[in-house]
Structures are given as structure tokens and as C-alpha cells.
Amino acid sequence: MNKLSLESINIKDKSIQINFSVSGDESWTKLFIAPYTFTAEYDVDISTIPLSVAMIPFVANFLPMVWLCDAEMYIPDIDKAYYDSIPEFKKGLVNMHPKFQFGGKVIAQKITENHSEVPAEKSALFFSGGVDATNTLIAHVDERPIMITLWGADMPVDNSEGWQTIYNQVANASRVFDLELQIVKTSFKSVLNLEGLNSIVERKEFGNNWYEHFQHGIAFFGQVAPLAYKIGLKTIYIASSYSPEDVGKYICGSDPTIDNFTRFVETSVVHDSYAVNRQEKIKNICDYRKKSGIASPLRVCWKSKGGVNCCDCEKCFRTIIGIIVEGENPIDYGFPYFNDSVRQKMMYDLQKKYKIKFHSVHYKPIQAALQKKYTYKDCPDDLKWLYKTKLVTHSSEFFRAYGFASKTAHKILSAVHLDPTKK
């Protein structure tokens, strides 16, 4: 039997350190990075949080592994609200991956009901600086939400230089919007053998991204549970990456069928702006800047290791062209290297180098916005190719190969609990 057992926990000042052991098949034990220590650090003193709450970051991080490897996780205590929600959000992940078997279980010596240290009245949102997160920030800015950024998600905990760039960006956004910023530094990815995990879920139909397809949402929320307990969070928003029109075309560990069923202490998670596609989010961001004069530079690049948009990868291009379609200058939105030569190269690369990326998930909304804004005659000359390009739509065989459950099942699950704040 594959086992994961907590050996010791130290809750001190602003940090949690958990030492654990693993045993069982080599295929299981090799998925962890020695010396088997999980850490999470916060900006507030969490030394008074209950053990049952301190366990959540640890449990959440390893749950998908336990299920997929049919393992047992042994812990001394767990928050009741979180424990009760596990089978609910597990259904979303199972539904998303019908080709995999989900077994395993969490064995807790004690299950404890908790209430926040202060009244649970505040809201918060995960903020990375990307299009999705910035749209969610704008959508809820009147609530004065607390901005939360995880160090250890996009930037490894051992990359201080890259993290400083990211921190400067999110800290600037918090100043621009006059909102509180909380940083959570977590080893939730660095304790895992991601290469090994990628290999066990690898399928030619949809790649091998363990973090994106299995760990993302569940692990993310768990990291902030101690903070939520300490400062009294009622709602935590996480920005959607997709919209209903994309159902059947993606696999993501953060999804309404998962996120909206997650609870801990007195906090609920909301998968935000799911009904809005990416281009509509870009329009919202551009419109907000035009109306308020407030602009927060976007951080979207998946190529740059230093945290600055490179203006030379498909993700940067996709965002830049979306901004151009809305009639705005990408330089004003965090793309400092953008100029005429970059624009010319972008148009060429999007047509030639990245043509395989032209499918409805990413580019159909951009094309639709372009066609709505311009007639073909009035369209900028270097965008006419996009105006008339026949975008590739994945075949039904592709959808089935992807392993994602039917649209009907997804609608049923997500509709049951679209917004936990409105029960």
C-alpha cells in the first residue's frame, strides 16, 4: 500500500513546516523530492492557527497524487469544512479525467470544526498580473479585495531575482488600486518530482502537464487556508482561464466543477468570470483604463524567466494582438519591447510559426472582436489575414481523445454551485 504520513509539524510565527514520510511502490515514492519537507510562509503571524487548519496546505497539495496513485494519507487532524468538501470537488476532477482511476483516501485521527479568528467578512483574489486575474480584480475592485500572490507557483522559490520582478509588478498593482497585498511563499511544487508526475499522466492526446491538469486549483486554494482563518476571508476568487464555449476543448485543474465546491473554515472559493472569454476580458481591461485612467501592466509571458513579457512568444503575441484589436497600445499594458518591428515579426510568426495554435479556444474570440469592430475594408492592413483566416476547429475525435467529459455533465456539475456566496 502506498502511504504518505505526517511525521512532525512546526507552526511558528509566520511559517508552517511539515516533515513527512512516504512508503510503498517505487513508482509512488519517486514522485517526492527528499528531504520530504513541506513549507509555507505568510505575511501575517499564523502561530495561533489550529493544527486542523495548518494541515490544509499540505493535504491539498498531495490529494490528487493520493487519488491517482491509490495511496493513503495519514494526518492527525483536519478542518471539517474542508474535509466535507473533498468528495464534492473530487467529482469535478474525476469527471475531467474519465480515463484515469481515482482511489486512495485521507485518514485523519480527528476532524475539527473551526471558525475564523476574526469575523469572516472579507474577500480576496489570487493575483498574478495576467489577463484573467486583472479582469477579476477589476470586476470586484469595489469590494476592496485582498490581493494574494503565491511565490512558488509561476516562479520557483529558489529564484529570488525572478520573484523580485514579479513582486514589484504585483506590489505596483496593489498600490495602483490601493489594495492590501498578501504573499504566500510555498514549496508546494518544489517538493514534487514534476517530471515523474508528468510521465504518469502523459498521453499524446493532451500532453503531460501534471500541474495544469491535476494539481492547479486544489493545491492553490489550500495554500491560503491559514491566511483565510487568520484574517477572516469569506470569499476567495480565482480567475477563470476558460469559458463555457471552450468546454470539451481543454483540461485544467482549475474549473468551476472543482473550485466552486471547495470550502475551508468559513471560506468559499469562487471560480470567477467563467462566462467571459479572454478577448472580452482584454476589452474589460482596456475599457477600465480608458474610463478610470488606471492601468495595471499585464504579466502573461510563459517564455521569460525574469518575469517581464518578452514580446516574442505565442502567449505574448496572443495578448498583444487582442489589445491592438481593442484599439489600444500594448506598451501601455506591460509590453515594453513592443514596436513596429515586433509587430511585423508577430504578424509573420502568428501566420507561419504558430499556425498550429489557430484554433477556436484562443483565436476565435479575437477574430470575432476584430470582425465586430471593423469591416474588412477598414481593418488595418496587417490584420486582414486574421479577419479572413479560417480557424481550425478541433474534431469530435480530438475532443474524445482529450478525455474530457461531455458538455452536459460539465453543465450539470458547474450549475449546481456556480457561486458559493449565493446559496
150 CA to centre of own chain: 10
Mean pLDDT, residues 157-183:
93
Q: Do residues 148 and 224 touch, judged by C-beta distance below 8 A?
A: yes
Cell 499524446 -> residue: 204
The mean of the pLDDT values for the chain is: 89
Would you place residue 114 in the very low, low, confident or very high pLDDT band (cuts 50, 70, 90)?
very high
Q: Do residues 264 and 116 touch, judged by C-beta distance below 8 A?
A: no
Residue 411 one-letter amino acid: K
Residue-level pLDDT at 359: 66
Q: Which residues contact 82 (CB under 8 A, 6 or more apart)?
A: 56, 59, 60, 225, 262, 263, 264, 265
pLDDT tens sequence across 322-380: 999 999 999 999 999 999 999 999 999 998 887 766 666 789 899 999 999 999 999 99
β-strand 15-23 against 37-41: which pairing, if any?
Answer: antiparallel
**Least confident among 6-10, 210-214, 263-267:** 210-214
> pLDDT higher for 283 or 398?
283
> pLDDT higher for 245 or 16?
16
β-strand 122-126 against 233-239: which pairing, if any?
Answer: parallel
Question: For residues 189, 95, 133 and 340, what is the CA-based torsion angle, rounded to 10 degrees?
Answer: 90
Please give the model's pTM, rounded to 2 decimal places. Answer: 0.89
pLDDT tens sequence across 50-97: 999 999 999 999 999 999 999 999 999 999 999 999 999 999 999 988
Residue-level pLDDT at 307: 66
Q: Which residues contact 164 (CB under 8 A, 6 or more apart)?
A: none
Cα gap 275→273, rounded to integer Å: 5
Mean pLDDT, residues 194-207:
76
